[in-house]
Structures are given as C-alpha cells and as structure tokens.
Amino acid sequence: MLRGLPTAACGTRKLHCELLEPRHMLSGSSILPAPELAPDPVVAPTVVVDDANSLAARSQALAISAVHFLVDGQEVTLTSLDQHLHMSAGSSLEVVGITYRWQGVEPLAGKIAFESYLSKIHGQEARDDYEDGRFGRHEQTEVSLGTTTHSGLEGGWVVEVGTESLSLLMVRYTEEGAQVEDRLRITTQVGAPDFYVDPDIEIVPSSKGLIVGRRLRISGAWGNAGAGLYRNHTELDIYHESDLTRPVWVGVRADVLGAGETESGKFINKIKQDGFAKDWVPERSGTYILSFVADPENLCNEADEANNRVTMRLKIADAGDVAAANKKLSDSRPQQRERGQGKLADTAVEAVEVVEILAEESANKPTDLPQWTRGRGWGKEKELPPKQADKQEERGSDALADTRADRWEQFRERFAERLHGWQDYDWASAVDRVFSS
C-alpha cells in the first residue's frame, strides 16, 4: 500500500524559531520497499549487442564493419555500437586492424586511410586530443568490392583516467581531394566506478506545505565510490501512484566525478525538449513515487549496481482541503482575538492564527516584532553574506520585505512553515515563550 511522509520524518523536538525554512530529511532506506516501477529505469543488463546496432547492419555503401584492438596485449574485436572498451589506468591500447566493406557495383576510385583520436575529460567537457592522434597509411589504389581489412594504425596509447571515447575516421583520397566516408565513436571506460545515491533526501515544501500547485525543492547527493573519472548524472523520476510507467516530472544532477567524489544540490530540469518545467509543481493530489537513479542510462559497468537507486513515497494534499481548513480558521478568529497576546494557543493551527491576528493589529508599530526576531534582519533590510544571498535569490518570493507590513506577513508565513509537521508539539508552551517577551 502506498503511503505518504512518515510522522517520524519531522520528529518531536524543541522548536527553534530562528530556523525558519521547513525541511523534511527523508531516508530512502527507511521507507522502502516501494512499488515496482515498470519499466524499471535502473536495472539494466551488462552491455547487450543488438544486431540492429551492429556496424555491418548500417545502410551506407562504404562503411567500417569491425575494429580490432590490442588491450594490454589481448585481442579485442568490436563489431557493434553497443560494445565498449574496458581498460585500467595505464593500459596499452592499439588499433591493429580495421575491416570495411564496399557494396557498390564496381570498384571505387581512391585510396583509403584511417586516423584516430582519444577524447579526454577537461573540466566539465570532453575534447578530442588532436595532438595525440594515430594514423594508418594508404594500402591500395582503389576500393575493391566486398570486404577489406586494413592493417591498422601506427603506434598506440597508454590510457589515463578521464579517457571517455575513441574516434575513428575512414578517409578516401582522390584526385579531387579527401572525403570522410565513415566515422565511429567508441566508448572507453578506464577504471571501474561505483556510483551511488545518498538515501538522505531533502524536500523543502512551499510556505503552504505539500499541496497541489505549489513548487517543491528536492535536493540530494550522489557519488563515485569506485575508480576513474566520468561525466555522468543522477536522475529523479517522479511517478503518480495511478501510473507507474510514465513520469510526471524528471530532474537531474549532473557533474564530473572522480574516485571518492560526491556532488549534491537541487534537482532541476533544463532540457526544454523534455517538456517538463524547471522545478516540480504537483498537479494532482495523492501519493507520488520518487525514484533517484545514478547512471540511469547504464553508461558504465560498475563494481556494484545495487546501490544506484533510492526510492521513496511522498503524499501531496489537495489545495481544496487546505482551503477548507483555512475557512475554519477564519470562523474562529473572533474567539482568538478575545484571547489576546497573553493567552496560550492550544494547537498548532491556533498558534498560526495568533501570529496572523498579531500581524494585523500591529503592522504599523515598530516594536511589535517578538524579541527573538530583533537583530535577525526582520526589523530592517541588511546586506546578506554571498551564500545566504544566493539562497534568497533562489527562493524568489521569499526575498526580504520592503515595508513593515510586508515583514509581518513574511514573519507570519515563515512561522507557519515552522509549524508544519509539529502537530504533536506542546504549542501552549512554545507560543507562550515566543510572545511573552
């Protein structure tokens, strides 16, 4: 059965009002297992060669059909675009033969030669190293019908971590000049990575809580506990309980990770072609399945594939239910006003209402902010440290208010945020401490 956020995610602890941003620290391992997703975005077999992707199956008349390598002295032949070259840092790599075929009706004029380059990671990008190429000379005066095997390239490489792929070009030289007839890019994997997803996921709801139509901020971390240096990513796929085959939103954290490195931050979507918004805004109520997957396209063979995935559930309330609760609060306003500042609120809901009433009655009085807020930026504007300023900019609508009334409204909303998930707390004592100063 699907379920929402466990009560234990918020806990029962002292209320620290100066920490005004609500967070839910969720542990994926604590609420598994989740329903089986179909199709499973994580479990993928070790490289399977698909005949449709074989080099020989391509339709072009003049094309490479096989590449023959020596890796640390061992022969390796690649005949498919699905196959990768697996090596270790310091391995030797040579191209010792290239098979190609011409499917014309008569021999083709020109001479065939080959050249190859390694693509290496530099910063956040991978670039072909054109200063370290290898070349194969011309061996015939014309291109014969059928299949021919070239003797390969002169020399080889000693590969290093961060070598991402090998490009191979077939060039035909004629009296009119040179023309590239075919090119391949072969994936190379140097070292065995071990990508994983940290099961502690942070979910920051809007000031209204986990409800339909309100943006959520979802953050997490992933890392490489193995070897090598790779450009890769962790993907967040969100499914509604009614359809576990089609995600309603997809977010990504992408980076270059070396051995022992981690990366963390908010999951967002910047790919317009996906058709998803930058941030997730739930469009319907119910339970959602959040599936976090490292190396989702199974680009690498890893030392451990079992730790690539964390799955959890999250329940989103209907905005109409929240509106009904707000009406109930509004109906109880006269009784709350009679109680005044010196009275104690008995429940979390009443505590929010007390703050709201105080804000309305005291918006124009400069000393009415509770004492614990003074010196914390509530009574005046101030320049924020760079890290805090970045957070303020990301929050957008939570920017510092320009007027006293706006500051009161902001205070009320943030106080309400702190109340989210604390229904079991001793609100009478908490409100008394806050407003007795």
The pLDDT of residue 52 is: 63
The pLDDT of residue 251 is: 95
The pLDDT of residue 182 is: 94
Residue 64 scores a pLDDT above 60: yes
Domain 7-31+193-318 and domain 51-190 have a common topology: yes
The pLDDT of residue 331 is: 57
pLDDT band at 6 (very low <50, low <70, confident <90, very high): very low
Alpha-carbon gap, residue 125 to 162, rounded angstroms: 10
pLDDT band at 58 (very low <50, low <70, confident <90, very high): confident
Alpha-carbon gap, residue 281 to 55, rounded angstroms: 44
The pLDDT of residue 1 is: 32
Residue 430 scores a pLDDT above 70: no
Q: What percent of the chain has pLDDT over 90?
A: 46
Burial class (CB in 10 A: 0-12, 13-18, 19+), 248: middle
The pLDDT of residue 92 is: 96
Q: Tell me: the pLDDT tens digits for 69-97?
A: 999 999 999 998 788 899 999 999 999 99
Please tell me the least confidently modeled range out of 172-176, 182-186, 297-301, 351-355. 351-355
The pLDDT of residue 374 is: 43
Q: Tell me: the pLDDT tens digits for 325-357?
A: 555 555 555 554 444 444 434 444 444 444 545
Please tell me the least confidently modeled range out of 17-21, 143-147, 301-305. 17-21
The token duo for 4 is 């929402």
Residue 225 scores a pLDDT above 90: yes
- Domain boundaries along the sequence of the chain: 7-31+193-318, 51-190, 332-435
Alpha-carbon gap, residue 12 to 347, rounded angstroms: 14
pLDDT band at 2 (very low <50, low <70, confident <90, very high): very low
Q: Which residue has the higher pLDDT, 307 or 388?
A: 307
Average pLDDT, the chain: 75
Rounded to an integer, the average pLDDT of 251-279 is: 92
Q: What is the CATH number of domain 7-31+193-318?
A: 2.60.40.10
Please tell me the least confidently modeled range out of 208-212, 365-369, 418-422. 365-369
CATH class of 51-190: mainly beta
Q: Which residue has the higher pLDDT, 359 or 282?
A: 282
Rounded to an integer, the average pLDDT of 365-371 is: 45
Residue 150 scores a pLDDT above 80: yes
Rounded to an integer, the average pLDDT of 98-118 is: 92
CA 96 to chain centroid, in Å, comes to 40
DSSP 8-state symbol, 378: S
Residue 250 scores a pLDDT above 60: yes
Alpha-carbon gap, residue 182 to 173, rounded angstroms: 13
The token duo for 313 is 């559930």
The pLDDT of residue 303 is: 83
The pLDDT of residue 348 is: 44
Rounded to an integer, the average pLDDT of 196-205 is: 93
Residue 187 scores a pLDDT above 70: yes
Candidates 126, 246, 264, 245; CA nearest to 196 is 264
Q: Which residue has the higher pLDDT, 308 or 379?
A: 308
Rounded to an integer, the average pLDDT of 194-221 is: 91
DSSP string, 3-27: ----GGGT-S----TT--S--EEEE
The pLDDT of residue 104 is: 86
The token duo for 414 is 């943030």
